[in-house]
Chain A
Amino acid sequence: MKISLNWLKEYIDLPKGVTPQELALKLTMATVEVEEVIEQRAAFANMVVAEIMEIVDHPQADRLKVCKVKAGKEIYQVVCGGNNVYKGMKGVLALPGATVKWHGQGEPVKLEKATIRGIESFGMLCGAQEIGAGYELSPAGGVIDLPGAKAGQSAADILGQNDVIFDVDNKSITHRPDLWGHYGIAREVAAIYGLKFKDLKLAKFKEGNAVDLKINIEDTQNCSRYLGLAMSGIVIEPSPVWMQRLLIAVGTRPINNLVDITNFVMLELGRPSHAFDRRDVTGDAIIVRRAAKGEKFTTLDGQERSLTEQMCLVCDAARPVDLAGIMGGQNSEIKNDTTQIILELANFNPVNIRKTAQQLNLRTEAATRFEKSLAPDLAELGLKRIVTLIQQLIPEAKVASKMVDVNLDKQEDRLIELNLEFLNKRVGQDIPKKEVVAILERLLFLVKDKGETLLVTPPSFRVAKDISIPEDLVEEVARIYGYDNISPRLPRADLLLPEDNINLLVAKKTKDLLAQALGSTEVYNYSFVGPAAASPLGLKLTDHYEVANFLTEEQRYLRTSLFENLFKNLQSNSRFYQTINIFELGRVYTKHEGGFAAQPSQKSFLGKQEQMLAGLVAEARNQKVFLKAKGMVETSLDYLEVDYNYHVSDKAPAYVKSDRYLEIKVADQVLGWVGELQDNLCQQLDAHSQVAVWELHFELLVKFFQDNKKYHALPKYPGMAYDFSVLVDEQANWAKIRQAVLEASPLIKKVELFDTFTLEKLGPDKTSLAFHVYLADESRTLTSAEGDGLRDKIIDLLKHKFKAEVR
């Protein structure tokens, strides 16, 4: 919202020497955030009043003139296209360096000295639109004509562009409907500086009898008050320059005196209103009712809108004439020949206004204010202010009806007890009672001193949705007292060790290991997936939670597996990388009952949102990438001291090769799995590599994580090592060979594979395995005879049980 300093000065006299920047800072620190301070004058830099001394036709262009102009002592030559120039005319000369909008359109540009069709031009004579000045100052196609001005005078001064505009962040006043106008902001400034606040000028008027205005509120849910008044003797013409300037300054385009007055009062009091042409209000009757489903209504902007039965309409005896609180109807708008009007100041339901404005995508200034919950009694003040301004601008205007007031609002008397000790405790500093009372009174609260407590009545404009509990008063006092004036104090707290979060500990250990030892990079993916991400995995969309108001098809569902998005990462990164090793720790959302309650002390639970840890490894031309992923998982589980086993299982997900899938179990619980991606899916994902995938249930990992290392005494007696190299059938199973060798004798402590390869010349479907076998006894040194005996036993075992050729 834009606030004009000149406008504020209508209600307050700022202390001498307060700069706009200081005022903006004070407002920011005590009330609302001022995002920018804009000096109007800055936009008129390098613009002066110039008098035309001489005009000749441009030799190369019919429509252009070459003018010699005098600005102070200097004489400049400019090329001008204005159709209204004459010798002796005084206009606005924009010199090189000034910023203008060509023909009032497009982005502002900085002027430079130019040569136009062969003639040098030192700047330009400007039209009103080109410099954003009052539009009445230049005729169509012409430049500004300022008969009363003096050559050499600053353009900003002569055009009255001496205002300063504060751009206030609307978000910072959502809870303060009273600040949506200049009057309210001025009231705050007065409170901050302790200034006298000038009363609003209100003229007394006599009610009339000529018009019998009838008002009926049918939709009492959406309209709690309707104030109506008819006026006659209206003459539509442009509003005076002072009003236009203020409106333009805050970004509102002047239309005519009547429309400008209603806009002015909205920007002054934050109170929207509406004026109908009385000729178009059938039967002088106003009926506020609900729209019918699908009812059509054309608003002022000429758009036909289709309404729902939730929306509220203001109607006359025959038809709707106003979309309540949002925008008037085209059928009853003020026209140039309007002479009689009906004014509407009504209180509409803020929630309904907001919903209607949203559904129709019609967020007007009026709707923005209504939805903040306006003070109920502001309607009457607003009406009186409008009548005052109409009579000021149109002396012929007369009130033609009674002020009809259908008022269903209940008057709310609010009294808040503020305990001073409570106040000081919350602030953290003692503020003298005298000062507390003074601050509250400056903010127009009524204060009764009851010793240790104050009985406080908030002003009517602060009651709606704003001040209701003592904590609210703490804020009022503290912000005006100044947050900067509160001395910092350390809170006192019991010396307690914070409870450890074992989840975070395991996450940290695991992520560090994966990233810093195992070369894997952590990714964060959306919780959302689209059908395109789910289908390659063979996952059913019906198993996914669906976002009711999804933004894009890609973000329509909640992921049920981290791989839905990890595979997208694989695809997008394959363009740049041969080797990809990534992992993610995140929640997946499945249609089961989870552990988080939806409400306290109720037996309803939110959906399951388990944390999963998953990763993938893609390496071009690595046929054994499965083993790499398996090894990463093994290192991780060893590091976390998880006591796990592998199980060959037929429960591989559809996207994993069934013969390259291993389940990881702890006791009977499946902790996770390792697998290799189906080739066709790799191709589909443009991954020109072998891809292994792994997944662990993170919450189980936390459960089975141990921090339990125990020292084992170093062996006292040396052991022996034997190496074996055997040729076995490709299908032979290393885990079984290893197990059989281990079981051959209790002296065998370790069986360790160190090489494996397949060569054509070794025979078809044969694999060579090379491994170490370590023998030891804790109580004695083994003899070489014992060792050799065991070696022979192992060879025998390999030959007979595994049909191995020992080499």
Chain B
Amino acid sequence: MELDLKKLKDQAMAEFKKSKTLADLDKLETKYLGRKGELSAILRKVKDLTGEAKPKIGQLANQIKLELEKIVAELRHEFGHLADKAKPAHYLDITLPGQKPALGHLHPITIITRQLEEVFVKMGFMVLEGPELESEYYNFESLNIPATHPARDIQDTFYIKDQPGWLLRTQTSNQQVRTMEKYGAPLRAIFPGRVFRCEATDVRHETTFYQLEGLMIDKDISIAHLVTALKVMLKGIFKKDVKVRLRPGYFPFVEPGFEVDVSCLLCDGEGCGLCKKTGWVEMIGAGLVHPKVLQAGGLDPKIWSGFAFGMGINRLVMLKYGIDDIRLFMSGDLRFLEQF
């Protein structure tokens, strides 16, 4: 049997070396190394052997198999290159552009809003949507903005003809009381969405833009908590530690209210054109939820307290991509949209 094997090896080697084409090689490979090939036939017989011969013959057969496989691989490699040279007619200019499947583009506000949502979901916040066509009650009254407040002027708010008390929401804060009604407390939620302001448009002003509002209600929520939450979320958004400062700000639905400045992202607080040389960029309005708002949401201010914050998404997107005209977002201009 040992002899058979050696004979087979020599014969196979000789034939492999004589082969001229890939096709020849394929045939020979099947003949000797295939499942029904000659070497396989011998290997099958090994299992019938007994005593010392079994491992010895088995080893030899395997060694021969490896050697033959090696020579086949080498020849195949060689033939491959020969084949290349043999077919100059199929020359391909590999410097031609690749065949790129056409990709569409997500709107930049979609892209950034998703990133923001992701940060808040990680922190245990729900993401909720709400009506754009809204009532004065949820947009103003329930937020401690009385009928005489300037924000309710038609200079700022779009109202709907023949539908008293209907308007286009001016802020995503409209979701605060709706959410308290539905979910009660404790509560953690953000509300991204489209808002409307009745003002003439220019490079910095739009009738239609996007905000993200956040609300957390629990027991004994404090200013110290708000500061920390803002720092954590800003780190999530900007992927680095940012300095945050709170200063007094006025929004009727929070008390106390804050303007939250973030250390300028362009100059890191050194002072530049973006931050008007102050080192700070105004980014978020925030505060502790006003007790009247909690009451409107059916929550007892003696038990519950909370913080709320809101920011403009457009501004964040403009900062991130260096966009200098807010009107581009609603333009539907593909020359703009294809850049994202």
Residues of A within 8 A of B (CB): 28-33, 35-36, 171-172, 174-175, 350-351, 354, 358, 371, 425-429, 469, 471-472, 474-475, 478-479, 483-484, 486-499, 501, 503-504, 508, 511-512, 514-516, 518-528, 545-551, 555, 558, 565-566, 568-569, 572-573, 576-577, 580-583, 587, 589, 594, 596, 598-600, 606-607, 609
Contacts and interface: CB of A to CB of B under 8 A. Distances in A.
B133 A606 contact: yes
Interface string B183-201: 0001011000010101110
Is the contact region of chain A dominated by helix, strand, or loop, or is it mixed?
mixed
B51 interface: no
Contacts of B130: 596
A548 B333 contact: no
Given A523-B107, A527-B194, A426 B153 contact: no
A173 to B, nearest CB: 8
A607 B166 contact: yes
Contacts of A493: 124, 186, 188, 216, 218
Identify the interface centre among B106, B126, B256: most chain A CB within 10 Å of its CB.
B256
A520 B228 CA distance: 41
A765 B308 CA distance: 68
A501 B126 contact: yes
A484 B246 CA distance: 7
A483 B288 CA distance: 14
B133 A428 contact: no
B50 to A, nearest CB: 38
Contacts of A569: 332
Nearest to A35: B276
Contacts of A503: 129
B104 A514 contact: yes
B332 A488 contact: no
Given A471-B256, A471-B291, 4 more contacts: A171-B250, A426-B223, A498-B189, A521-B334
A35 B247 CA distance: 13
A371 B249 CA distance: 19
17 contacts: A172-B249, A354-B150, A472-B255, A479-B248, A479-B256, A486-B227, A490-B225, A515-B103, A515-B105, A519-B102, A521-B104, A525-B330, A545-B160, A547-B159, A549-B159, A587-B132, A600-B181
A478 to B, nearest CB: 6
Contacts of B153: 358
B208 interface: yes
Interface string B271-315: 000001000000000001011000000000000010000000000
A499 B126 contact: yes
Interface in B119-156: 121, 124-135, 137-138, 148, 150, 153-155
Contact of A483 (B181, B246, B331): B246
Contacts of A524: 107, 109, 329-330, 332
Contacts of A566: 332
Nearest to A557: B161
B314 to A, nearest CB: 11
Contacts of A499: 126
A795 B125 CA distance: 62
B8 interface: no
B76 interface: no
B226 to A, nearest CB: 8
A217 to B, nearest CB: 21
Contacts of A551: 198-200, 207
Contacts of B245: 29, 483-484
A186 to B, nearest CB: 18
A351 B245 CA distance: 34
Given A28-B247, A518-B104, A606 B128 contact: no
A425 B220 contact: yes
Contacts of B188: 493, 496, 498
Contacts of B121: 498
A30 B248 contact: yes
Contact of A475 (B148, B161, B255, B338): B255
A520 B218 CA distance: 43
Nearest to B200: A551
Interface string B241-281: 00001111110000111110000000000000000100000
B71 interface: no
Nearest to B134: A606
Contacts of B257: 475
A576 B221 CA distance: 54
A175 B162 CA distance: 33
A568 B227 contact: no
B59 interface: no
A596 B331 CA distance: 29
Contacts of B305: 425-426
Contacts of A30: 247-248
A36 B224 CA distance: 29
B256 A523 contact: no
Contacts of A576: 334-335
B38 interface: no
A543 B131 CA distance: 19
A515 B111 CA distance: 12
B248 A494 contact: no
A31 B248 contact: yes
A524 B330 CA distance: 5
A302 to B, nearest CB: 26
Interface in B87-103: 101-103
B222 interface: yes
Contact of B207 (A174, A488, A504, A526): A526
Contacts of A514: 104
Contact of A511 (B106, B150, B177, B256): B106
A427 B198 contact: no
Contact of B218 (A491, A549, A550, A565): A491
- Select the residue from B133, B228, B231, B329 with max chain A CB neighbours within 10 A: B133
B91 to A, nearest CB: 30
A501 B160 contact: no
A419 to B, nearest CB: 11
Nearest to B109: A524
A35 B280 CA distance: 12
B53 interface: no
Nearest to A351: B148
A573 B334 contact: yes
A766 to B, nearest CB: 33
Nearest to B329: A524
Given A486-B223, A547-B159, A548-B154, A522 B337 contact: yes
Nearest to A581: B104
B110 A606 contact: no
A639 B246 CA distance: 47
Nearest to B129: A503
A677 to B, nearest CB: 17
Highest count of chain A CB atoms <10 Å: which of B161, B163, B247, B288? B247
B224 A609 contact: no
Interface centre among A486, A514, A576 (most CB of B within 10 A): A486
Counting chain B CB atoms within 10 Å of each CB, the highest count among A516, A546, A600 belongs to A600
A352 to B, nearest CB: 10
A29 B330 contact: no
B283 to A, nearest CB: 14
B80 interface: no
Nearest to B289: A471
B77 interface: no
Contact of B224 (A427, A572, A580): A427
B249 A511 contact: no
